[in-house]
Structure 1
């Protein structure tokens, strides 16, 4: 096959996955998907190997191939045949990866009777049942407390809609109307992917399609190997910490060994799994490794099955990075994944000091709210951005989502139009980034006021104690802070917990700033002038304060 046709096929698959995301977003009902774009999509070959993925959510994308292979193995074990004109739904994290809120829908793609691939997507449903509105609690002791669990099951079979599964799925949510709409949007997304794959095959043929994919795999593998050869060889160790609801540290430890032709990532020394939801299934751990090295390899390396063949991962079973069922995992997907990225970057800063940034804010800052409004139950979920870490030649970006997430914010109008809430503050958290030659980005302040009734609020955040670290003399960013105002009295809250608010009560979160890079004394006069013009008032301070 000529190179032009091969490249056209590869690009067509990529844009097919992007179109899947557009179809999903445009068809979804919930603000979390249609506004925040908390979804991901990808296309695979008949063996479950990644062909193309949209530029969506890293923690979703890395776990989708892992989840697809687990699903295929599950169906084989259960003697369930992969059929044409079907859709499979699964959210069991120990099969699909991530957590229960992330629902995966898979479409087998057949062409003239033969299985040629799969289109699949994963979307975060804002409530999937469980003990708290939004489903992500801070104190669940098992997966059963986190919501409805679905092993792989046919949502559509032989073009017949499985209404029993559909009803079971929606009735277990506090937002059944949203769940029905979002699940149908996921179906539409997969049909879009299937259509694009079939168009390619109808134009070029199955043989050319498979040949182009093999060529793409081999090219990606060669590109990765060439980048590894340029890396500084050696073993690089690092450790970082999560903050448990009990106030104890949870250690993540990694050794990254960079060789001539492969990278080995070993998590020996990482703490055992815990009885609260900061465990991360292996699919999430894999996602973190792939995200970090994807960012370090460079934009010219394409992402497919071949990209990560030279990167080996070892995570002991029974640890927080590879727990055993039914350990709770809702926070592992959103918080432990972030610390995994941090500890990997910290290790690689010793090998690539001019490339690796200081720590970002280190949390997705999960906010879950719910209650009764206009005689209906409701649940709301969003995450709040942070400051990125400074890096050589560049300050950290202010107020964005970092590392393992890639979502938008929820428009204030969307919240105030549909929920008994007012957003009373939404602004950059000035001076929250760590000082350095290149400062850390600022976090965000966001506050909500209850307009009427009572609201259950759950917060699951991080970096309240262990601040985002700086690099090479840069100072750490400010920690996350949470507070409530009830009856005019302000109360400081921890970064994890559930509490009740009533009419006129206020909940506020101040997210962490990124770490600084380089000695603050080396910051240029032009940068200092820009800081002043933008309202920053950095002053020399002790590194430990």
Structure 2
């Protein structure tokens, strides 16, 4: 599925950066298999898919599309497409893709605005039929392409092309799974057995942690609307084979767009526990059954509609990882690294008009050092698992020139083991553009562990002038944008043995 999606997509964000995910679910919407794609996509799908697929009249050839964060999505650019899979005339499962669309109709290019309401962030797609019985639903397809509803299927629309690529990937997955069901009559029973096994392995790993309550908190830099130092807190309770995360004490939802639905917080929590387990443990629904979580309704991690959420999926999820790992480090200190860069360094830009364009990228940084060695430099970490756009692709698609792309030496935190370094990327604009930055760890540095030092905070600069973490501005031809990403925290002071 992932190969079909990558090779079919037109946008560099999908075909070059690999900002997409693919997974298989059983007929009840329980995760059974996933590709090694993006944790924030996959974990949130695992949390929300059962509600999304239940109580629908599924037919062969259907495709469901959704991006509504309050109905199983994450943020509007992440569009989910679901294909049912039938075997012997009965529903046996679902093939699902989620991909980030750089143009989802927001009021600023790149569809990652400094927003205060959900409707400013683009088209909100409630669960809808993209195809019904194998037939494209043309009015919706035209809306997704940014066209008037009346007319033909928008086959020549570049904006619609990535939806077609997702549909192709889902249909390929559905065909292959149906073929597997024909060859293996007990496939549904095998799904159940896999999930029971995953649950058994998860319970055993949790049981190896010391019982107790572990508390940790960290802060978001700001919400882009004037509020700073926004707390995220967790109490992790380990009791035998069960783990519970209570995010009480987390700040209320804010005016800016760092809010998120509970599914995003769940994705971050699931990811942290998955990292504790051996590589051979299957990523399936059973893995998460011993883990429960809650966050107060109306809080930053369980926001109410119509709160803006564009940065919640990317930036707040990164901080939730830091908070959960900080709590787990008290229970399993040698298994947990220091904080990684803690941001995805979102850069969105473009221009309107006949030759309009939309560009979106997340940028790599340093990972935290740990008990067995230093952090990694200039890599994507934790909730993102994408790539940086290659210079050749960026310069051939957009009116941009890359002046610098290098490791940010010395940005990792010091210690017996040093945190990984961030990177520096400097772009020159060859034409006017509207630019939006949604970044974190510009005020609160990535923390070290066991006496290790903080990683360096990141920096954003326009023509050398320091920018706030979240901002939107107009760049003119000849201007330059520099983004320096944070380094990871260090592990253990230099006297550690």
Confirm or deny a common fold (TM above 0.5).
Answer: yes
Residue aligning to 2:285: 305
Q: Distance in 1 between matches of 2:70 and 2:158?
A: 25
- Structure 1 CA distance for aligned equivalents of residues 147 and 309 of structure 2: 19
Q: 1:71 aligns with which of 18, 35, 52?
A: 52
For residue 163 of structure 1, report the CA deviation from its aligned partner. Answer: 1.3
- Does the residue aligned with 2:311 lie in a helix, a strand or coil? helix
Structure-2-length-normalised TM-score: 0.96
TM-score, structure 1 length as denominator? 0.88
Which of 157, 164, 168 does residue 139 from structure 2 map onto? 164
For residues 274-309 of structure 1, give each alpha carbon's deviation from its aligned partner in whole angstroms, at most 9, with x where no partner exists: 111000111101100100000012223211111111
Match of 2:387 in 1: 408
1:463 aligns with 2:441: yes
Distance 1:379 1:52 in 2: 33
Q: Decide whether the 8 Å contact of 1:33 with 1:124 is kept in 2.
A: yes
Is 1:508 aligned to 2:482, yes or no?
yes
State the partner residue of 2:25: 44
Q: Which residue of 1 aligns with 2:151?
A: none
CA-to-partner distance for each residue in 1:210-247, whole Å, 9 max, x for gaps?
22112111111111111112112111000000011215
CA distance, structure 2, for counterparts of residue 249 and residue 104 of structure 1: 32
Aligned to 2:467: 493
Compare the two structures and name the one with the higher helix fraction.
1
Query: Partner of 1:381 in structure 2?
Result: 360
Alpha-carbon RMSD across the aligned residues, in angstroms, is: 1.4
Q: Distance in 2 between matches of 1:97 and 1:347?
A: 27
Q: Show the counterpart of 1:147.
A: 122
Summarize deviations over 1:79-114 as a string: whole Å, max 9, x none. Answer: x52222110111111112210000000001112321
Conserved in 1, the CA contact under 8 Å of 2:197 and 2:286? yes
Please, which runs of 5 or more residues in structure 1 have no aligned partner?
A: 1-19, 524-545
Q: Distance in 1 between matches of 2:189 and 2:87?
A: 16
Q: Which residue of 2 aligns with 1:15?
A: none
C-alpha distance after superposition, 1:41-78 (max 9, x if no partner): 111111111111111000000111333223234xx3xx
Cα distance in 2, alignment partners of residues 344 and 35 from structure 1: 31
Render the CA deviation track for 1:474-528: whole Å, top value 9, x for unaligned: 000110101111xxxx3111111001111110000100000000003459xxxxx
Deviation above 6 Å: which 4+ runs of structure 1?
Answer: none
1:473 and 2:451 correspond: yes
Give the Å deviation of 1:172: 6.5
What is the aligned residue count?
A: 488
Query: For the structure 1 residues 130 and 372, does the alpha-carbon distance in structure 2 shift closer, same or farther, using more than 3 Å as the test?
Result: closer
Mapped partners of 1:521, 1:29: distance in 2: 52
> How many angstroms does 1:191 deviate by?
1.1
Match of 1:137 in 2: 113
Instruction: Indicate conservation of the 8 Å contact 1:456/1:501, yes or no.
Output: yes
- Give the Cα–Cα distance (whole angstroms) in 2 for the partners of residues 86 and 233 of structure 1: 47
> Is the CA contact (8 Å cut-off) linking 2:350 and 2:358 kept in structure 1?
yes
Q: Deviations over 1:157-202 (max 9, x none)?
A: 11111111111001179xx933211101101111111111112111
Q: Give yes or no for the alignment of 1:352 onto 2:332.
A: yes
Whether the 8 Å contact between 1:433 and 1:439 is mirrored in structure 2 is yes
Matched residue, 2:371: 392
SS at match of 2:356: strand
Alignment partner of 1:248 is 2:223 = no
Take 1:441 and 1:178, find their aligned partners in 2: how far apart are those partners? Answer: 38
- Aligned partners of 1:202, 1:377: CA distance in 2, in Å? 48
Q: 1:332 maps to what in 2?
A: 312
* Contact 2:244-2:291 within 8 A present in 1 as well: yes
Does the residue aligned with 1:428 lie in a helix, a strand or coil?
Answer: strand
Give the distance between the partners of 1:370 and 1:67, measured in 2 at CA.
32
Q: Quick check: 1:367 aligned with 2:347?
A: yes
Contact 1:477/1:514, CA 8 A, preserved across alignment? yes
Aligned to 2:60: 84
Kindly indicate whether the alpha-carbon contact (under 8 Å) linking 1:435 and 1:474 is maintained by their aligned counterparts in 2: yes
Provide the C-alpha distance between the structure 2 equivalents of 1:192 and 1:512, rounded to a whole number of angstroms.
39
Give the deviation of 1:321 after TM superposition: 0.4
Query: Contact between 2:109 and 2:352, CA under 8 Å: does it hold in 1?
Result: no
Note if 1:196 corresponds to 2:176.
yes
Structure 1 residue 469, shift from structure 2 partner: 0.4
Contact 2:73 2:79 survives alignment (8 Å): no
Describe how 1:103-118 pairs up with structure 2 within 5 A: 103-118=79-94
CA distance in structure 1 between the partners assigned to 2:479 and 2:352 by the alignment: 16
Deviations 1:323-369 (A, max 9, x none): 01110001000000000000001111111110100000000000001
2:152 corresponds to: none
Q: Is the 8 A contact 2:261 2:303 kept in 1?
A: yes
Report what 1:445 is aligned to: 424
Structure 2 equivalent of residue 100 of structure 1:
76
Corresponding residue of 1:5: none
